[in-house]
Amino acid sequence: MTQLDSISILIVDDDTLVSEMTQGLVEELGYTVIGKAANGQEGINLTVSLQPDLVLMDVEMPDMNGLEASRQIQQLSPTPIVILTAYDDQELVEEASQSGVGAYLVKPPDTLEVERAVTIAMARFQDLMELRVLNDKLKERNQQLEDLNQALEERNEELDAYAHMVAHDLKNPLNLIVTYIQYLEMDLKPDGKLKSILETIAETGHKMSDIIESLLLMASIRKDEVESETIYMSVIIAEAEQRLTHMLSDSEADLILPQEWPPVIGYSPWLEEVWVNYLTNAVKYGGRPPRIELGATVEDDNMVRFWIQDNGKGISESDQKLLFTDFTRLDHDDSDGHGLGLSIIKRVVEKLNGQVGLESIIGQGSRFSFTLPVADVEM
């Protein structure tokens, strides 16, 4: 940092007598006057060429006043500036500060006032320069983040397009495999080991198809914007039951439904997937046979909490913290899966302005839930 006794100063004043007096005060303090200018433009030119440590600038000058000259100096060659004014005016002080001036002196100043003003102006200028450096670094970092976000968005769009292409390319042969297996079972009427093999192939094909659908749904949830509408959940539950007819029948699940559902705001295709996932988990991880109860509760915050209660083993508090995250599946000896269902539910519900929830006690089953806004429906 420049020592005070080696500070170089440029004086800008159109009054020769005032300029000479100011020079005398400055030199009495041990500072060095490296140049003098008689108007604002000359002051700007000398500041750029001489690079003084500080400029003493008169306010009132012909052609260009000291405040405008100060503004241009800060743009072309940032330098500490002290203005000289004939009167003390708060509005002038505020305008000077906005022009990049660090301190001001009322004419005629004494040596103590000059020294104090020079010290204040240089300290403020140093702080300003440090802030500018930090601001420049922040702007650079923000630009880097914007560029990175743009690159990620472009990459995600490419991945989404690729995922859709691959998924559709995989779905057709998978559907053919499952269909041919069904034909073989009908035609051959196998038993024993062959029957078990065909059932395993068909089951694996269904699981692969579910994984593909889940991945496509996750991509669409992230990307697509949908128009919410009034939802009557009984219709969606019926569709979900229809899709899970064989699973519910084979497991002998006891499904208990309420007589009425409160209307909410949502998006039917996504909510059907929510219920399919919740019901599937309730069958897989419920008791034997599964007893599954569905319900809804209107809460005080104009939200409806939909829930599904199973009679399974329950989930420990430590395991509960792991749920609703991508590709997380708890270890269950009696079932397997691909770890996508609950994370999809979380994404869907949050996209629809709701929240997921879970209450579970070991030995007493689990209650999974989600909330949606209440629909304003005239009865």
Domain boundaries, given as residue ranges, for the chain: 6-109, 150-223, 229-373
| CATH class of the domain defined by 6-109 | alpha beta
Instruction: Return the H-helix or E-strand segment holding 183.
Output: helix 111-188
Residues 6+ apart with CB under 8 A from 276: 240, 243, 244
Instruction: Tell me which residue of 289, 282, 290 sits closest to 369, measured CA to CA.
Output: 282
pLDDT at 301 over 90: no
**What would the DSSP string read from start to end of 39-85?**
SHHHHHHHHHHH--SEEEEES--SSS-HHHHHHHHHHHS---EEEEE
Percent of the chain with pLDDT over 90: 36
- Predicted confidence band of residue 337 (pLDDT cuts 50, 70, 90): very low
pLDDT at 1 over 80: no
Q: Average pLDDT, whole number, for the chain?
A: 84
Better pLDDT: 277 or 336: 277
pLDDT, tens digit, for every residue of 195-250?
A: 888 888 887 877 777 667 766 666 666 666 778 899 999 999 999 999 888 889 98
**CB distance 96 to 104 below 8 Å:** yes
pLDDT at 334 over 70: no
Instruction: Tell me if domain 6-109 and domain 229-373 are identical in fold.
Output: no
Of how many residues is the chain composed? 379
| CATH class of the domain defined by 229-373 | alpha beta
Strands 54-58 and 8-12: parallel
**CB distance 344 to 266 below 8 Å:** no
Better pLDDT: 163 or 370: 370
**What would the DSSP string read from start to end of 234-265?**
HHHHHHHHHHTHHHHHHHT-EEE--S----EE
